[in-house]
A and B are shown apart, each in its own frame.
Chain A
């Protein structure tokens, strides 16, 4: 237990002044702008939006600036700002099948309808520091850009490339478990307290906003044997989708914007046997923004958490929903770990006097001081 303390107003004010000066850095260097963070540190912004569970690129970029690049602090800022806005309602379900694709790869099919589209990826890069990025230079061009020419596209119709879900090949043959649509309203963990056992709807919501590092480690632990999930990636896709709502005043579905998402579908080992026809099982990851590592991790942990559903032995933390869901949120985790730095003076005095009386008993019982 911590106690209320008084005073320190001036010191706290000065600490915040110092923080602001530190944030600004060397005044001889231009101040970083929100647009620069949004445009050039887009993956930091994506991570902050995903973990804050709020898609708001501009506010997330502001949070990254305010937090001096401390991403968990930025998540905290964005999550806290969320509390100031009213909830207008729920969207219709996103459809990743209708995504404007920026990247789509499959780890199970070499040749698949629509092909393997690498998109903007760190994969196959050499991971060598590029000293040229430290110099000012001309902006990098996209592959089809014509240098020095403003591009005015382009035709009357949208260039459509057909990119059906890779999972379709398996589902058509009945080799993967079905995922039928159900009309049930999902629970919303921002509205009701977490209760166990939790359904997959709550688990996926929890994982979508979970700390990336925590999910990555859990997924890794599961792959290494603390659990049993080591899947194939049926498909990983990145792109933009329209978000639609049905406003009561209009009564028909209306796009209210586009968001970038990363989606991962995995193929996992079998369920069935005996009277049940054996089939592959699914893991699913869906994350705001360009967050590939997290989408993969989420799909692995989602499948690991389905252990009970498939009657699998619980062998690792990644399969334990209470362990995963209670510890996945980095704001709760940071709050509890970091609160111990706050004044605990009275607590500590109590422990100290307890120790002193133990010492006294020890001495009276014939023990000796060294």
Chain B
């Protein structure tokens, strides 16, 4: 599978809710034989920003993440997810391994499409709400100007 494509579905897996991953992948988790290359492990990523958003780098603070790697047949699936969430990291890593596997990729396509739609739906919902708070300020003539 090409790199941009893998990047896209890895992102879908990472940003999906735990419940969505369970719904789509828990059946595979229970029925397939796979091994941990790296069992779920929780740790820290130091998050960086730029001075003025464009300038030199600085460290903002750390973020809690969980990473995991599994091997299913010849495919190694990797996952990094936010927070302390071993179950989600394991499912996401399995999802990555299966998506690289021709035997599963096609069956999983609707699942990835659903993840994409769920995310899009949430963003669009939030955006619509936020846009209702867009304001046009009108500058008023202040009282004291009358005496000018």
A contacts, CB < 8 Å to B: 49-50, 53-59, 82, 85-97, 100-103, 110-111, 115-120, 142-145, 151-159, 161, 165, 167, 179-182, 184-186, 188-190, 200-202, 204-205, 208-209, 242-243, 245, 247, 249-250, 252-259, 261, 263, 265, 282, 284, 286, 288
Contacts and interface: CB of A to CB of B under 8 A. Distances in A.
15 contacts: A56-B84, A85-B43, A86-B44, A87-B44, A87-B62, A91-B63, A116-B136, A117-B131, A117-B134, A151-B125, A154-B128, A155-B120, A201-B57, A257-B81, A286-B53
Nearest to A115: B134
Contacts of B134: 115-118
B103 interface: no
A96 B45 CA distance: 18
Contact of A205 (B10, B59, B80, B133): B59
Contacts of B1: none
Contact of A95 (B47, B53, B56, B64): B53
Contacts of B51: 179, 200-201, 204, 284
B110 interface: no
Given A86-B43, A117-B130, A257 B65 contact: yes
B124 A155 contact: yes
A161 B81 contact: no
B52 interface: yes
Interface size bucket, B side? Answer: 35 or more
B61 interface: yes
Contacts of B127: 100, 158-159, 161
B46 A181 contact: no
A327 B75 CA distance: 51
Interface in B68-85: 69, 78, 80-84
B130 to A, nearest CB: 6
B80 A201 contact: no
Contact of B133 (A118, A243, A282): A118
Contacts of B45: 87-91, 243, 245, 256
B31 interface: no
A82 B41 CA distance: 14
Given A97-B53, A255-B10, A257-B81, 19 more contacts: A54-B64, A55-B63, A56-B63, A85-B42, A90-B48, A91-B47, A100-B127, A103-B130, A157-B120, A158-B124, A182-B55, A200-B56, A201-B51, A243-B63, A247-B67, A249-B78, A256-B63, A259-B82, A284-B53
Contacts of B47: 55, 91, 94, 243, 259
A249 B69 contact: yes
B134 to A, nearest CB: 5
Given A249-B78, A256-B65, A88 B44 contact: yes
A245 B15 CA distance: 14
Nearest to B38: A249
A348 to B, nearest CB: 40
A167 B51 CA distance: 13
A252 B82 CA distance: 18
Given A159-B128, A201-B58, A254-B10, A88 B53 contact: no
Given A143-B132, A153-B120, A256-B81, A200 B58 contact: yes
Interface string B74-118: 000010111110000000000000000000000000000000000
Contacts of B80: 245, 247, 254, 256-257
A205 B123 contact: no
B52 A93 contact: no
Nearest to A251: B3
B121 interface: yes
Interface centre among B57, B67, B128 (most CB of A within 10 A): B57
B83 A56 contact: yes
User: 7 closest Cβ contacts across the A-B interface?
Assistant: A257-B82, A153-B121, A179-B55, A179-B52, A53-B61, A56-B64, A143-B132
Nearest to B10: A254
Contacts of A50: 61
A181 B55 contact: yes
B144 interface: no
Contacts of A209: 61
B11 A254 contact: yes
A270 B121 CA distance: 45
B44 A54 contact: yes
A247 B69 CA distance: 12
Contacts of B29: none
